Amino acid sequence: MAAMKLVAVRPVIKTVSFHSGLQKSPFRRNYVRAFSAIMSPPSKAVVYDQLGAPDKLTRIVEIPPAEIKDNDVCVKMLAAPINPSDINRIEGVYPVRPVPPAIGGYEGVGEVYAVGSGVKGLSPGDWVIPSPPSFGTWQSYIVKEQSVWHKINKDTPMEYAATVTVNPLSAFRMLHDFVQLNSGDAIVQNGATSIVGQCIIQLARSQGVRSINIIRDRAGADEVKDKLKKLGADEVFTESQLEVKKVKDLLGTLPEPALGLNCVGGNSATLILKFLRNEGTMVTYGGMSKKPVTVSTSSFIFKDLSLRGFWLQKWMSMDKATECRTMIDRLLGLMRDGKIKYDMELVPFEDFHNALDKALGKQGSQPKQVLTF
């Protein structure tokens, strides 16, 4: 555990801090504080000055100490993942994103390093996550107002705490927000090897819901199937296995699924629609194939399917902070119990660009990259 250290500087010559989102100020101010201020240690951060290719535009920079105000908490980051949406934000193709120059990252876990005089309920050494997540987790020290931080159980494996929000919480919400699923019901999903996909399998299993899983055709498909079945998948099909007249003939004793979860689009989404029972719902939360969803008229009229979308960032903006934290704690509990598992690779922060290349798919399929500080 890093030691708490309060740095008192009097007077302080302070430049505009990089810590709170790197907003461009119309006038850069230098000013002199006449009283003492508590400052964070200097931080290292992954910064980008304009939108575009993340591997070209990101760089690790050193950021000067930031003031810790009365209600602020200074957190020494422990771990933060590289999620696809982080990449999309830097690329500028994600609709909600910070204005560059900005620091990358959106979720992570850290240890409280120092607190302002007005902070209650958080002490140095506590583990916290930003909840709801907030921009700029790819840096070694973050100073933010106390309400941003949610204290978590320190027995949680660090890399799971760092990644609990974006993927597992999405999986959890999608299993609860669209269709009332009862024990014995079934769901169908594509992109089943993604972290969301793996979480869906495990969360479904934990509530007695059966899962039908669709994966891309690939070398080693049999091993992938075995792995997903060990997590609790009831059935796993490659897309080519589903090139049959009636996919429902493959259901065996499984019920027709009431809920479909689509993160691929194109033919893979069509396969989900074929599996769904009458009045079923397909929720789209990603488009990995970059192909749209195509739906027959009769699917709407005679099969009465509903097609919806899910976006965690929007969900969390809907005044869900308390509900969000309750669910996070529940998910962290499942993680501590080993009931939610997925593959991650821990990478020292200094090797960010190597991790980024892996996250960008330059080295083929790789586990989730999690930066450690």
In the complex, what is the shortest distance from the CB of residue 208 to a second copy, in angstroms, rounded to a whole number?
28
Helix (H) or strand (E) holding 347: strand 344-348
Chain residues in the site for a second copy (CB under 8 A): 95, 265, 283-287, 292-311, 314
What does residue 151 show for φ and ψ, rounded to 5 degrees?
Answer: -75, 135
Q: According to DSSP H, which parts of 26-183 are helical?
A: 54-57, 84-91, 158-163, 170-176
Which of 230, 308 has the CB closer to a second copy?
308
Report in angstroms how near the CB of residue 192 gets to a second copy at its nearest: 18
113 is catalytic: no
Look-up: residue for tokens 């629609």? Answer: 273
Output the smallest distance, CB 104 to a second copy, in A: 20
Identity of the residue, 52 or 287, whose beta carbon is nearer to a second copy in the bound complex: 287
- Marked catalytic residue, from 31, 48, 94, 106: 94
Contact 194, 216 (CB under 8 A): no
CB count in 10 Å sphere of residue 295: 15
Contact (Cβ atoms closer than 8 angstroms) between residue 110 and residue 128: yes
Dihedral in degrees, nearest 10, Cα atoms 284, 285, 291, 293:
10
Q: Smallest gap, in angstroms, from Cβ of residue 291 to a second copy?
A: 8
Q: What are phi and psi of 145, to 5 degrees?
A: -60, 145
**Cβ closer to a second copy: 161 or 273?**
273
Please identify, using beta-carbon distances, which residue of 31 and 302 lies nearer to a second copy: 302
Residues taking part in catalysis: 94
